[in-house]
């Protein structure tokens, strides 16, 4: 593992190598011993050598279930089915609703060809459902097929929800699971029931099926060879994406710290540190020059530093969540403090990087460290009780199953991570592609965001286990039980002004969950809600059409306003949210001055690379 630094006097803590020393295991045991008994039950702290046969069995089962615990899934369906069996009135109501839908459908079918009959006489698709948006779906019999499917989908939703006695978590699992099955059976996924496909086949003489077969074979070969999508050929890291001019000024076992060259004559004295998530490559914030946040910030007169995380391998199974704080945020802040001495830092965290930044800031607040001038969180959660559909399968059974799967591999593999996120938007990310690529014989034009999305990363076994348990499962951070170096931290220890961004259609970090930061911290909070999703809402450069946002400031001592009231009160503005943020930063920055030096000079005879560095290519 590389372990070089441009600053020997500020060298970050070194990660012990599992192959040479049992340091991880000892440090893990010491950390457990320092925690209160209620924080870590003994059953959760068994060494990896315990119950190896059971773990191996679970890991084998995970290959067949895609990482879903069959026990957790079975318990959810048993909960729903048992309570439904004990509710005859509710069953009668569900049956009557089904008969009413059937009667209405047959009545509509009898007069569907009559003049003046509207295309969506019984049920309309939801605004976000694009499967039946084409005009071809408005003509019978395809309109009838779509309505029959939507009625069945609605009936199953009603049948799986509202059963008294079923736990909300199990109800959500059952509803989500059956929705995935129904989405697979939608008429848009089959050639003979999709009018768009039939029309394309008629116009092309069936060539669309030939091209679709070629697309399927190409995808299969790419999967078997562990290759990347063809889009990657046009979007190459360091050549067409991640092209902002910079220099790696520091490297340790976990990060490369990139400092970008200024593009203005003078810069604001306070540098910006960007902490991206390590479930993704950093360059989502430095994509093509026309939509690079880094390029935008340097053009606005800021000195920008970026953390680029190393992609862990199977030998890194014992990298802990706190290593990301120590070797990541802490090391970066130390290095920046020596490159730009005496200056506070504007810190930005995106997604999981934002959660890590909040933990680091709370720790710094506890310890009296005031080096952060402001804190910006992009689509980052600090309370995980309402973390959207990602929490559906986060229970003791599922987390244990995932731990055993990762125990065998050492990491959570890239395909498993990508599959989980695709399920959250299966219509957009799976079934729409099946229809377009394999039935229509088309392919979406390649984009930098698609290429970045395919450039996946892995998560270490220990880090991901701690993340799932302490944050998702136990919600320790929001409830004041999260320990850093043996002592608890509280988000109320954060006093730096905060700029927090949520996105309207975020399936990973729902904006109402992100909004909870308002009552967790003791600081001024400016909350901005932007259009788009988890990625497209954040990557919203000025000049790009279709973006809008709402923003409202809450002073530190102002009363709390709930998300629904905030949504009504916050004015809407068309355009990118980036200029709004830089105006906020400028109001909390000093007057422009001469740019700082790049790094602090090479040591040990080693020359660190230019941006984008080496770790991003792993």
* Nearest Cα residue to 281 out of 263, 305, 306: 306
> 52-65 and 396-409 are packed helices; what angle lies between their axes, rounded to 10 degrees?
100
Helix (H, G, I), strand (E, B) or coil at 172: helix
Helix (H, G, I), strand (E, B) or coil at 582: helix
**CB atoms inside a 10 Å sphere around CB 388:** 18
Do you know the residue count of the chain? 618
Helix (H, G, I), strand (E, B) or coil at 227: coil
Decide: residue 85, CB within 10 A, 0-12 exposed, 13-18 middle, 19+ buried.
exposed
* Nearest Cα residue to 348 out of 356, 337, 339: 356
423 in Cβ contact with 507 (< 8 Å): no
Pairing status of strand 548-554 against strand 572-574: antiparallel
> 70-85 and 396-409 are packed helices; what angle lies between their axes, rounded to 10 degrees?
160
Q: Which residues pair with 377 in a beta bridge?
A: 349, 500
* Nearest Cα residue to 459 out of 346, 317, 331: 317
The label of the residue with tokens 């259609």 reads 505
> Has 217 been annotated as catalytic?
no
401 in Cβ contact with 528 (< 8 Å): no
Helix (H, G, I), strand (E, B) or coil at 112: coil
Q: Which residues contact 142 (CB under 8 A, 6 or more apart)?
A: 136, 187, 193, 194, 195
Q: Which residues contact 124 (CB under 8 A, 6 or more apart)?
A: 150
Please pick, among 17, 112, 351, 593, the residue that the annotation labels catalytic.
Answer: 351
* Nearest Cα residue to 196 out of 256, 262, 134, 270: 134
Contacts 24+ apart (CB under 8 A), 118-121: 119/143, 120/147, 121/147
Helix (H, G, I), strand (E, B) or coil at 88: helix
> 88-110 and 70-85 are packed helices; what angle lies between their axes, rounded to 10 degrees?
90
228 in Cβ contact with 281 (< 8 Å): no
DSSP 443: -
329 vs 299, 460, 461, CA distance in Å?
24, 18, 21
The label of the residue with tokens 């699971």 reads 177
| DSSP structure string for 501-519 | EEEEE-SSS-HHHHGGGGG
The label of the residue with tokens 């497209």 reads 536
**CB atoms inside a 10 Å sphere around CB 465:** 22
* Nearest Cα residue to 256 out of 305, 309, 304, 303: 309
Q: Which residues pair with 305 in a beta bridge?
A: 259, 273
Q: How far apart are CA 257 and CA 248, in angstroms?
A: 6
Catalytic (active-site) positions? 351
């Amino acid at each position: 593992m590389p372990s070089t630094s441009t600053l020997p006097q500020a060298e970050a803590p070194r990660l012990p190598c599992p192959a040479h020393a049992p340091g991880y295991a000892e440090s893990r045991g010491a950390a457990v011993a320092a925690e209160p008994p209620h924080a870590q039950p003994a059953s959760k702290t068994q060494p990896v050598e315990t119950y190896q046969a059971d773990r191996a069995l679970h890991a084998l089962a995970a290959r067949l279930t895609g990482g879903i615990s069959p026990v957790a899934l079975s318990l959810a369906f048993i909960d729903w089915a048992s309570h439904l069996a004990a509710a005859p009135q509710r069953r009668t109501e569900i049956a009557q609703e089904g008969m009413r839908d059937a009667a209405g459908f047959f009545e509509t079918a009898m007069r569907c060809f009559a003049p003046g009959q509207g295309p969506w006489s019984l049920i309309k698709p939801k605004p976000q459902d694009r499967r039946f948006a084409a005009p071809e779906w408005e003509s019978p019999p395809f309109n009838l097929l779509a309505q029959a499917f939507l009625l069945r989908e609605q009936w199953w939703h009603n049948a799986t929800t509202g059963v008294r006695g079923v736990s909300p978590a199990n109800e959500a699992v059952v509803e989500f699971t059956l929705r995935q099955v129904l989405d697979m059976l939608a008429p848009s996924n089959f050639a003979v029931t999709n009018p768009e496909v039939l029309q394309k086949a008629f116009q092309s003489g069936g060539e669309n099926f030939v091209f679709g077969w070629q697309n399927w074979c190409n995808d299969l070969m790419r999967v078997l060879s562990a290759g990347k999508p063809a889009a990657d050929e046009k979007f190459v890291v360091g050549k067409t994406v991640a092209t902002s001019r910079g220099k790696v000024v520091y490297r340790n076992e976990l990060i490369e710290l990139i400092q970008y060259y200024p593009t203005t004559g003078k810069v604001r004295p306070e540098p910006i540190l960007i902490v991206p998530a390590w479930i993704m490559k950093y360059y989502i914030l430095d994509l093509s020059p026309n939509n690079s946040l880094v390029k935008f910030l340097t053009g606005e007169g800021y000195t920008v530093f970026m953390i680029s995380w190393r992609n862990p391998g199977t030998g890194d199974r014992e990298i802990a969540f706190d290593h990301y704080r120590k070797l990541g945020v802490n090391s970066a802040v130390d290095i920046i403090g020596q490159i730009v001495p005496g200056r506070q830092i504007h810190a930005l965290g995106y997604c999981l990087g934002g959660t890590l930044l909040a933990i680091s800031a709370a720790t710094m607040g506890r310890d009296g460290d005031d080096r952060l001038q402001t804190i910006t969180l992009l689509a980052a959660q600090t309370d995980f009780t309402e973390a959207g559909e990602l929490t559906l399968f986060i229970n003791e059974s599922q987390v244990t199953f995932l731990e055993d799967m990762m125990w065998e591999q050492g990491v959570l593999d890239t395909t498993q991570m990508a599959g989980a996120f695709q399920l959250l938007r299966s219509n957009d990310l799976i079934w729409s592609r099946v229809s377009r690529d394999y039935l229509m014989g088309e392919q979406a034009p390649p984009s930098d965001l698609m290429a970045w999305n395919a450039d996946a990363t892995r998560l270490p076994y220990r880090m991901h286990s701690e993340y799932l348990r302490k944050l998702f499962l136990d919600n320790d951070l929001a409830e004041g039980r999260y320990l850093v170096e043996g002592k608890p931290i509280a988000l109320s220890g954060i006093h730096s002004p905060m700029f927090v961004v949520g996105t309207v259609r975020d399936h990973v970090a729902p904006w109402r969950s992100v909004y909870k930061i308002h009552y967790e911290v003791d600081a001024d909070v400016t909350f901005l809600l932007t259009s788009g999703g988890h990625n497209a809402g954040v990557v919203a450069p000025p000049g790009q059409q279709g973006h809008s946002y709402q923003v409202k400031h809450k002073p530190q001592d102002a009363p709390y306003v709930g998300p629904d009231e905030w949504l009504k009160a916050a004015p809407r503005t068309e355009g990118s949210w980036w200029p709004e943020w830089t105006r906020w930063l400028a109001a909390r920055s000093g007057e422009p001055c001469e740019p700082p030096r790049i790094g602090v000079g090479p040591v040990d005879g080693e020359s660190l690379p230019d941006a984008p560095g080496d770790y991003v290519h792993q």
